[in-house]
A and B are shown apart, each in its own frame.
Chain A
Amino acid sequence: MQVDLRILRYDPERDAGPHWVSYSVEAEPIDRVLDLLHRVKYKVDGSLTFRRSCGHGVCGSDAMLINGRNRLACKIRVEQLGRRRISVAPLPGLPVIKDLVVDMDGFFAKYRSVQPFLITAGPPPTRERRQSPEERARYDDTTKCILCAACTSSCPSFWAQPDYVGPAAIVQAHRFIFDSRDEGADERLEILADQDGVWRCRTIFNCTDACPRGIEVTRAILEVSAAIVERQA
């Protein structure tokens, strides 16, 4: 079948601003949006620019706004979109470099700001640290994050307050705060209790809807908020 693929394009060396370009693309229902983008790039216009790598939803390169929702282009089939007109735009709220490529540097700087690494005191044992299956399950959900930015760039609080650390960074902090082996929760909770930390969240649930890994992002944010309150009390 033919699909009308509309792409919000922008080349800073040629264009005054972003503009929609329509491509009529041959597609199978099982095709992913990434397949359609490749078809345009390889057969119609090689200058169409987007990131992608693994092609099956685990590397986090190709998050973009597809029919008004943040998704991974490699993880959404044409038939799932339910119509023959598909619009693709860069992730909202992040500076556009070219076509569907956004500047991720600020996103990763926020990720780094929450101390996203295991903090322990004292030397480790000779063998593995023990952790029960229940303790391991406590933070399982947030270990799945692939840092694609679909959540953070779907968040109205982030759009309004670009200094907000954002859902992805909080998810990453959550992964350590609730890990029984970690001893850095106080430092992280201090960082996230900042005015640009968890209190910016208005529980809109866009992040949870956007997460291609199915992480309950809003719940993770609320659990971190609760931990801050508990610590302060």
Chain B
Amino acid sequence: MDQDFDALIVGAGGAGLWAALELAQAGVPTAVLTKLYPTRSHTGAAQGGVCAALGNHEEDHWEWHMFDTVKGGDYLTDQDAAEVLAREAIETVIELEHMGLPFNRTADGKIDQRRFGGHTRNFGEGPVRRSCFAADRTGHMILQTLYQQCIKVGVQFFDEYHVVDLLFDGGEAGAGGRAAGVVAYRIADGELRAFRAKAVLLATGGFGRMFRITSNAWSLTGDGVALAYRHGVPLQDMEFYQFHPTGIVGLGILLSEAARGEGGYLRNDSGERFMARYAPTLMELGPRDLVSRAITMEIRAGRGIGGKDYVYLDVTHLGRKVIEEKLPDITEFARIYQGVEPISEPVPIQPTAHYAMGGIPTDLHARVIRDADRTIVPGLYAAGECACVSVHGANRLGTNSLVDLLVFGRRAGRQMARDVRGVDLPELTEDAIEPVRAELRAISARSSGENAARIRSDLADVMMDNVGVYRTEELLSAALPRVRELQERYSRVHVDDKGTVFNTDLLEAREVGYLLDCAETTVVSALARKESRGAHAREDYPERDDVNFLSHTLAYRAEGGPRLAYKPVTITRFEPKPRTY
């Protein structure tokens, strides 16, 4: 059965929900499809805050926020996008408050703000209070608030509809085709259904599950990213993957940078605040790539706690009141998952795979582009972590993921509302759902073969060990054949569950295929970038190389492996400079 809408949104995190809200308010017939329930989306796991230069405590300007974003991204950030981000952050945060978001408050009733990594006053002089927050549950409050508003305006949701393919009219996305809809698998009963639309927004989040230690939800498997890639959209800057410095040892669960924003310390085995040697001005509030490398270097030098592979996050000096009122959730995480009492004991932490700076390339209006000439794929949009606009460049600053999904989710909805007006629905052929039906049937039909969970776990090991905080030619060259071998094994993947009702076995197998695409493009892009920039740290090429690599990578799907091209970086205000903190 086909169903027609003017606009479809895939994914119900912050970007998807805000876009839906804009479309519904503009009177555009819209549906949101999500493989979860909307309130399960991973926006809800964001903790520390959302930066906007409100200046509620001290002088601040969007130009400073823009500069920090560009410098934080090691000058790979497109500066026109960073300007949009920093300017519109202010109005989106105010709008969220008007929607009812329960921000923490200052004594005079304004939105409270705190310090966050890499966010500075006057172009790098020192930390500034820019992060607007609701305890350490800011993402939860954003997700809840946006979902509440969607209920208020009557957005139509298709909960637990897993989008498994994208549809195009007039050729593939990479060959001039126009987005025509999606194919969704209704999880409750396994029915495959085509949804037709004039505009499709991909807001499917990241793909941290390709790493062993990650802060990401199990559901973050790169669905939208891989589907766009399979239909001819190149993936941009996939080699830039952020490791957050403070994950719970072994599990990767995030302990927010807010702990350091409130004044927490990082200590090595001798109790030293080692960041003094790596970022003398900002110390623990250095950008994440730098702090994760510092921790890794301490561990390698044998200065991890007891010589092991972790260091301490110490908040004991902040006192019970600050810890319990401003950091309640992460305090509970430390208690539950590590059996550590943060009020009196330091918390063992290690870097955890956290955020993809790369993804589906878009312009400033969330329209997907398919080449270095910025050719638009008509009707296809992307926003949030799955997209690469690129505001984060080579390394994202803390809180800017929320700013990104709010600002560009909002822009996506507005642009889609403009673009669907006066446009006819695209053509869909009767057999549009057949290719993906055949792929799913092939998996179900195998009575034996490879176990998907095993492939995912092997992939997570390769990526963690060879494509992590530090990379070399040797490590990356060894990773590539192993990823290819996993792809070969994946061609024989089989599942135990042959039923139609709530078959998560089949859907998880499908998701592993997406992760493999993300991993292959990451490794190939990383091998080709023979420099160190932001989160891409090559020990064999330790310097940034602006002569050869001040450009975005584009990885196209091709026979025999991804084909790479490069796209210039947009520089408007800030010429690249050495990056010190």
Contact = CB atoms under 8 A, between A and B. Distances in A.
Interface of A: 11-14, 30, 41-43, 45-47, 49-50, 52-61, 75, 77, 97-99, 101, 104-105, 108, 112, 115-118, 124, 126-133, 135-136, 139-140, 143-144, 146-147, 176, 179, 181-182
A98 to B, nearest CB: 4
Contact of B36 (A61, A124, A136): A61
B152 to A, nearest CB: 4
Interface string B97-110: 11110111111111
Interface stretch (B76-84, B276-284, B496-504, B534-542): B496-504
List the 5 shortest-distance A-B pairs measured between CB atoms, nearest first.
Answer: A118-B100, A130-B109, A46-B496, A42-B453, A47-B497
Interface of B: 36-37, 39-42, 44-45, 94, 97-100, 102-111, 134, 137, 140-141, 144, 148-149, 151-152, 159, 188, 217-219, 251, 253, 329, 332-333, 336-337, 339, 451-454, 457, 495-497, 499-505
Given A13-B501, A127-B94, A56 B100 contact: no
A225 B40 CA distance: 29
B501 A128 contact: no
Contact of B140 (A30, A115, A130, A146): A146
B253 A56 contact: yes
5 contacts: A42-B453, A49-B497, A132-B105, A146-B39, A176-B100
A104 B37 contact: yes
Nearest to A126: B94
B502 A49 contact: yes
Contacts of B251: 56
Contacts of A55: 217-218, 253
Given A118-B100, A128-B111, A144-B137, A13 B499 contact: yes
B105 A59 contact: no
A179 B102 contact: yes
A74 B443 CA distance: 29
Given A46-B495, A132-B105, A132-B107, 15 more contacts: A14-B499, A30-B337, A46-B496, A46-B497, A52-B218, A53-B219, A54-B42, A56-B251, A59-B44, A118-B148, A128-B98, A136-B104, A143-B102, A143-B134, A176-B100
A77 B501 contact: no
A22 B149 CA distance: 44
Contacts of B134: 143
Contacts of A43: 453
A132 B102 CA distance: 11
A128 B94 contact: yes
Contacts of B148: 116-118
Contact of A118 (B99, B333, B500): B99
